[in-house]
Amino acid sequence: MYRTHTCGELRLPDAGKTVTLAGWVQRARDLGGMTFVDLRDRFGITQLSFNMERDKALCEQARQLGREFVVQAIGTVRERESKNANIPTGEIELIVTDLKVLNRANTPPFTIEEETDGGDELRMKYRYLDLRRSSIRRNFELRHRMAIEVRNYLSAQDFLEVETPVLIKSTPEGARDFVVPSRMHQGEFYALPQSPQTFKQLLMVAGFDRYFQIVKCFRDEDLRQDRQPEFTQIDCEMAFVEQEDILNTFEGLAKHLFRSIHGLEFDAPFPRMSFDEAMKSYGCDKPDLRFGMRFHELNDFVQGKGFKVFDDAELVVGVNAEGCANWSRKQTDALIDFVKRPQIGATGIVFVKWTEEGLKSTVDKFFAHEQLQHWAERFNMKQGDMLCLMAGKAERTRKQLNELRLHLGDLLGLRDPKAFKPLWVIDFPLLEQDEESGRWHAMHHPFTAPKPEDAQKLIDQQDLGSVRANAYDLVINGTEIGGGSIRIHDRAMQEAMFRVLGFTDEDARYKFGFLMDAFEYGAPPHGGCAFGFDRWVALFGHRTDIREFIAFPKNNAGRDVMIDAPSRIDAEQLTELGIAVKS
């Protein structure tokens, strides 16, 4: 056999045993009469020891080993004289009696160490080498554990894991589909699923009652650190449920993962916040509650005082940066530069500082001290604090202030990656309107049910902007981990939704006729959730880049630089598919 033990297995009680190890050479140290080699596999590192006096030829052989050579070593386990408390095997070493090189290796293009010198693109090109690093390996151990715990919890709740099709029909609503040409049906295309949405609803019609799947999904969209063209989600659906049933079930899943992975107990229910409150108080629908800086509005105090920026604004709103009154002009100018970046687009910030000399602002000539005192009271401001105020169109200004709030949280060290603050955001708008076309779009997807008390507005197509969705998102630390909704299960309501979204009856039938037909055969009330598994694992791994938790990810341009995909295909394949490529 190639090995009797792994490189992370041996301990001091194993001293005296003859064992066989196999793995990769992490590093070699030549000390003249002695040579030491660190042998690594997935499970750990064991030090191999070679002595010139004991076996000169074997020691010379060890000196010829290069980094990442694959070797087999036979020897006797011995207690180390110089112990290494940093590794679990640090009390022992292997006195090698036989060494075999199983495969030689070129010098790797970056160091295979905890902290590597390889850049992102280089590491992605040689991802199979990057995956040898222990820090990356731990990411996949975490992912594996979380997948097991998800299955354990949902199975205990009587969910069935069911696989749904990967080759489906294209219904390009929202993100773009990846399409797959059919050879047998030329001119026709499959699409890769953005989610198994309609199939899981059909499983509820079929009476499966509780379904889940840890499933690959695909979206042809612009990429970020927390997005990939192919991603994994925990997809779930339940029949005969209302919103409260679903929130309780999946809050239970979240608490189970916190407990089993991080040993954290959440005894109290997760807080809940309406979409309107989240937008008003934090400027986004996924607020980070690890720190304060709740928004407060000042229109009633500041308008009509002659300061044009405030007088002309739809909204004047700000946050209290506690303990920042001693910030220098250089520091506050840096904040202004931050919000003026094109991706944020603000024009500036008004500051109010409460120093030992009292309240001072950058607009003192427009506002008396007594007026500043009213501002301070609204923000619960105290000496040592600094207000940051922004003004403009309401929705835009709230989004800009949200970016500033998060930036201040980073600068002040308030966003501890090892602290977790979960939150349910509920009562989303069902629809959002495109300003240019005036067309209504589903904020989540077209199968989301309205709140029962708002359903008639949807049917009558009246006051559509006020219709609330029976929808919910789970947010942790300012990251949307997932969300879902109670679904429409009535054909007439689904047809009304399609009409509001601008579908003709023919379009609706062509794209979703199979679902509406199913509703004619006894569809139960149902709803569900889908969670971004990659995001959740990255969050639990205290990282923001989900690529560190995906074995073979794409880069920010959507390319796999290791296998060079996407790539052109042969003319013969194109002919078989009946496709011509325009240059």
Nearest CA-CA partner of 154 in 221, 53, 235 = 235
**CB neighbourhood size of 524 (10 A):** 13
Q: How far is CA 293 from CA 91, 128, 320, 322, 324, in A?
A: 50, 44, 6, 8, 12
In this prediction, what percent of the chain has a pLDDT beyond 70?
99
Burial class (CB in 10 A: 0-12, 13-18, 19+), 368: exposed
Mean pLDDT for 33-55 is: 95
Asked whether the beta carbons of 494 and 516 are under 8 A apart, the reply is: yes
Asked whether the beta carbons of 332 and 353 are under 8 A apart, the reply is: no
pTM over 0.75: yes
Residues 6 or more apart whose Cβ sits within 8 Å of residue 550: 228, 534
Q: Is the pLDDT of residue 302 over 70?
A: yes
Q: Is the pLDDT of residue 172 over 70?
A: no
Enumerate domains of the chain plus CATH numbers.
12-103 (2.40.50.140), 137-272+421-550 (3.30.930.10), 291-411 (3.30.1360.30)
Please provide the size of the chain in residues. 583
Mean pLDDT for 188-197 is: 95
Strand (E) or helix (H) holding 455: helix 455-460
Q: How far is CA 183 from CA 105, 436, 580, in A?
A: 42, 40, 13
pLDDT of the residue at 14: 97
> Six-digit token pair at 383?
């000496």
Strand (E) or helix (H) holding 375: helix 369-378
Asked whether the beta carbons of 150 and 214 are under 8 A apart, the reply is: yes
Mean pLDDT for 419-437 is: 94
Max CA-CA distance within the chain?
Answer: 93
pLDDT of the residue at 583: 73
> Six-digit token pair at 202?
């059909």
Name the region of 232 (left: φ>0; alpha: ψ -120 to 50; beta: rest): beta
Query: Is 501 strand, coil or helix?
Result: coil
pLDDT of the residue at 225: 64
Q: Is the pLDDT of residue 175 over 90?
A: no
State the average pLDDT for the chain: 95
Mean pLDDT for 490-494 is: 95
What's the pLDDT tens digit per position in 202-248?
999 999 999 999 999 999 987 776 789 999 999 999 999 999 999 99
Nearest CA-CA partner of 212 in 519, 512, 482, 513 = 482
The confidence band for 409, taking pLDDT boundaries of 50, 70 and 90, is very high
Q: Is the pLDDT of residue 473 over 80?
A: yes
What's the pLDDT tens digit per position in 447-456?
999 999 999 9
Q: Is the pLDDT of residue 63 over 70?
A: yes
Mean pLDDT for 537-551 is: 95
The DSSP 8-state label assigned to residue 549 in this structure reads G
What's the pLDDT tens digit per position in 19-30?
999 999 999 999
Q: What is the distance between the terminal CA atoms of the chain, rounded to a whole angstrom? A: 55
DSSP structure string for 119-179: -HHHHHHTHHHHTTSHHHHHHHHHHHHHHHHHHHHHHHTT-EE----SSB----SSSBPPE
Q: Is the pLDDT of residue 323 over 90?
A: yes
